[in-house]
Structures are given as structure tokens and as C-alpha cells.
Structure 1
């Protein structure tokens, strides 16, 4: 029988971090991306806790019931890493397996680079390990690339908040592999439009999400707004600059990676070779899987496949450590 999920809080790194906890045993920390919450990991938390681990999923800094400082400068990759290390300390753990998706995937890779002694291994969904590149990513992006629009405080934040009831079901549907509107849109926002305009609301809630979960997302973002969430994007170039001492940024801890062919990230990183060349930068990449037809919300769209990847990876770690 599964153990119940608890909602707990920890005072870490100068903020309050709200997190879900389920099970007992070695620690597995789940880090979500945009525009997600800790509940996005509900399927994986159950599987991991049933497998003899403690699953912990925070509402990341800026999201949900966790603190959301207004200052964008408080959302660097070092702040995020500090939150997770502080959470480990709060739980009395020296290290953890980290599982990340979307912006949480970037945090996964960063922590494996900066504090590998605190990371037993990483399981990364959607966003591959990327070479650092020669220019700041957002500054060198096309003018209407969505991340560029996110840089102006109060513009896209306010638009998303005004349209939260239509935006959230729309982005969840449109970036899934089962969207009624077809393949994901380009992430270039037309002149005079907002990011939310890229996503047409579906006629019904995606089956993989569920009415109760969507209602929780909407109620949460109605309360919090989107400034904290977008502040992560306002540090992408800052993160590029401050990562320079770790160039080339290879990840040496054990790792696993999964992506779907209907994920917008597949379109971004497949043709330029970033996905296939990961082994060069992640020498202990123990498992890499591609799911045909699965979209961006991989942990919720294909929970059985993600759980299989995760539990197999954990088993490999236990065998290596025994």
C-alpha cells in the first residue's frame, strides 16, 4: 500500500520552500519546470515511494506555495541549487538523486556540474545537456523568440495572469503529443502578440492531466501570478556568464535522459545534434530513451515509461554502490 503524500515546508536559503513528500528511504528530489508545480510529479512520487525511496517534490522558488521574491536577480542557477542543497540539509541527507523537467532539467544539469558531491545521479526529461556555446543564449536569440519577450518585467507576466484560465489548458494541450490542434507551434511570437497567443484553448481538458489537477494549477497561478516563474528566464544569460569557470561543463555523475518526438524540445535540439552528442559531455549517461509521439509533459503523458526509466536507473545506482 502506498504511503500518503504530505505537504511540508522548510526554511532554506533565505526562503520558504513548500514541498510534497512521500515514502521513506534514499532521497529522490523532483524539480519541475514552467508552468508546472510539484503535483506534476504525482505519478513518479508514488512509483518511487513504492520502490523504497523518499520522494520529495518542491514547488520551486517562484511557484505555488513556495516563496516568490520579486527581484529577478534572486533566481540564478546558484539560488536554485542553494534551495535544493538546503532542502537536503533540512532532510538530513548528504546527497540525492535529482529528477528534472524543462527548467528543472536545466537545474539538474547545473547541480551535477557545480555540486556533484551532493548528487548521486540525475534523471533528466525533455532538455538535453547542452554545450555552453559562445554567446549568451537570449541576447543572441531572434528578436521574437519567446524567452526574449519574457525579459521585460510585467509584460508577459501580466498577460499570462489575465488569461490564466485559458492559457494553462491551452499550453498543456498544445505542447502535448495528443493535442487536438496538431503539432506544437513555433516559439517565435508574432509582432504585436503575446506568448499566450501561441496557444489555442482545447475543447476539453487533456485526459493525461485531469480536471482536478487543472483546477489546482489554475487556482494556484490565479493566486501567485507568473512573475516568479518568468524570473527564471530572466537569468538565462546571467547563468551563461557565471558558468564560465566550469566550461566545458561536463557532467560526470550517473545520468539518464528521456524525450518524446512530439516535444517542442525535440524540434529545438535534434537537428543540431545536441541530443545525440550528449554522451561526449555526459560520459556516465547510463540510459537514453526516445518516446515516439510523446510531447513536452512527458512525466504526465507517459508516466509508465518515465517510471520504468527512473526505477531502472535507481536500480543501477544501487548495484554500483553495493
Structure 2
């Protein structure tokens, strides 16, 4: 599928690049990728939900892909990132959207919800039953704490083999892992490094080509983007199913054609 390509300016001469697809006046979903990533890593969701009648947007978050990537720390404060996301929303001509975040995109989503509640519908957070605070003080995001507090060490490790690291983490997940602790991401800070403190990422040949979750073209674009700027979505069908179920159960009124369907309006009134 081909996507529209847009740039929107914000702040101090910065710009956000984003992909768009689907009917221009369909219910709006904005997908915010995590780390590492680019907007196009959402392509399985962009294809499915645009075909269902949603207007879908996937920006390259600040510092990634074709968005502004400067060595200016303040560019990546939540205040600045939120400014960029609001610029994307404004560029669509809307004042509200369904926002979906993955990984570090969730941090921006939560900040957006706290500072601009008028622009979102629902919010989700970490399951503390799965990650008890006394055992996992950072939940599944121990790797974020390590990255933030040991930035030089973390980035040097990734840069030893960007291709190999990306190939290693963008692999298909097993359904057996659903509802279980992620040992890959929940112990990085405590281990002072990824994979138990391994000295370097796996080489590309250490990960099977068949294990990859992204198609070859998107993966190569991601590798090129990360090599340019420096430093999962997993199982596309399952991710799409989870998003669709969430939309139906929590914000059914946002489903395309909902308000033009007399039966659904009648059911809503009865409830």
C-alpha cells in the first residue's frame, strides 16, 4: 500500500514527518512508535485500519527517520515532543484522536493524557500484578532506565552493530510469552546492560531471516534510519486484533459508520 507523506513544522524550526492513509474524514488514529523505530513500522496496522475506514497517521517521532534529528537535548523533552504531536494533530484539521503508543511512545501518550486530556479517548498502563514493584521497580522498562542513566554506555553498545541489534529485537514473538515477564527488557538496568551484560549485540547472521516481523523493505528502511540518527511491534495479526477489540469494547462510537447505523444507535440508547 502507498501512503501519503506529510511534513509539519513546529517549535524552533523543527519538523515532523508522518505517513497517512485511509479516508480523510474517517475516525482518526495516531500511532506513536517506540524505540528504536520509525512510523512505517506500524505498516500492518496502517493497512488494516485504513481499509476498515479509519484515517490513520504514523509519525516518525522526533529524532527518528525523516523528522528533525538534532543534537539538542531539549528537542527530546516531553514538552517538545508533545508540541510536535499536537502539531501533527492540528495538521489533520482535527482536535481529537484515538492515540496508540508502543514502547517509548507510551511515555508520550501518558504525558499527552496528563497535559492535554481533551485530545484523547482512553489510556492504558503497566500491569503491576505481572511486574511487582519490589521485584521490578521499573516494570518492563528497566532498559529505559539504563538508557537514561548510562546513556554513553548504552548508545556505544547499540552502535557496535545496529543492524544486528535491530534484527535481534524485531523478531516474531511466541504466544506462550503472553502474560509473562519480559526478561529481555525488565533486567537491563540491574544487569548493567542488555542480554545479561553481553559485551556486544548479536551479529546479523546470529538471527534467522525467517524470524523477522518486518518485511524486508521496511526493515532496511529502519536500519538506514537508525544508522543515520543513531539510537516491537510484534505479531501484526495479533496486534491488529487487540487494537480492534479495544476499539469495539471501549470506543465503539469511533468505529467508522457507527453513527449512520440505526441498529447500533438503538443499542447504545438501550444501554
Q: TM-score, normalised by structure 2?
A: 0.72
Paired with 2:32 and 2:252, the residues of 1 have a C-alpha distance of 20
Q: Which residue of 1 aligns with 2:253?
A: 316
Q: CA deviation at 1:191?
A: 9.2
The corresponding residue for 1:5 is 3
Structure 2 counterpart of 1:224, from 205, 223, 229: 229
The secondary structure found in structure 1 opposite 2:211 is: coil
The alpha-carbon distance between structure 1 residues 7 and 317, as it changes in their structure 2 partners (threshold 3 A), is closer
1:297 paired with 2:244, answer no
Question: Structure 1, residues 133-181: CA drift from partner, whole Å, max 9, x if none?
Answer: xxxxxxx86xxx53343234433223312310111111223x83379xx
- In structure 2, what is the Cα distance between the partners aligned to 1:103 and 1:147? 8
- Alignment TM-score, normalising by the size of structure 1: 0.62
1:188 CA displacement:
3.1
- Cα separation, 1, equivalents of 2:222 and 2:210: 12
**Any unmatched runs of 5+ in structure 1?**
131-139, 227-295
CA distance in 2, matches of 1:33, 1:58: 11
Superposed CA RMSD in Å reads 3.5
* Deviations 1:290-314, CA, capped at 9 Å, x for gaps: xxxxxx5346362441342255255
Count matched residues: 235
State how far apart, in whole Å, the 2-side matches of 1:317 and 1:298 are: 25
Residue number in structure 2 paired with 1:16: 15
In the other structure, the counterpart of 1:58 is 59
Contact 2:143 2:189 in 1 (8 A): no
Between the aligned partners of 2:16 and 2:73, the Cα distance in structure 1 is 17
Q: CA deviation at 1:129?
A: 7.8
Q: Is the 8 A contact 2:213 2:235 kept in 1?
A: no
Cα distance in 2 for partners of 1:157, 1:199 equals: 11
Q: Secondary structure at the match of 1:302?
A: helix
Residue 37 of structure 2: aligned partner = 36
- The answer on 1:208 being equivalent to 2:144 is no
Structure with the largest fraction of strand: 1
Match 1:306 to one of 237, 242, 250: 242
Q: 1:178 to 1:52 in 2, by over 3 A?
A: closer
Distance 1:192 1:53, change over 3 A: closer
Shift of 1:59: 0.5
Residue deviations 1:207-233, cap 9 Å, x none?
Answer: 53232222222121112111xxxxxxx
CA contact (8 A) 1:100 1:123 kept: no
Kindly indicate whether the alpha-carbon contact (under 8 Å) linking 1:30 and 1:100 is maintained by their aligned counterparts in 2. Answer: yes
Contact 2:74 2:80 in 1 (8 A): no
Question: What SS does structure 2 have at the residue aligned with 1:154?
Answer: helix
Query: Do the aligned residues in 2 keep the contact of 1:123 with 1:310 (CA within 8 Å)?
Result: no
Q: Aligned runs of 1:120-135 on 2, under 5 Å?
A: 121-122=121-122, 127-128=125-126
CA contact (8 A) 1:169 1:202 kept: yes
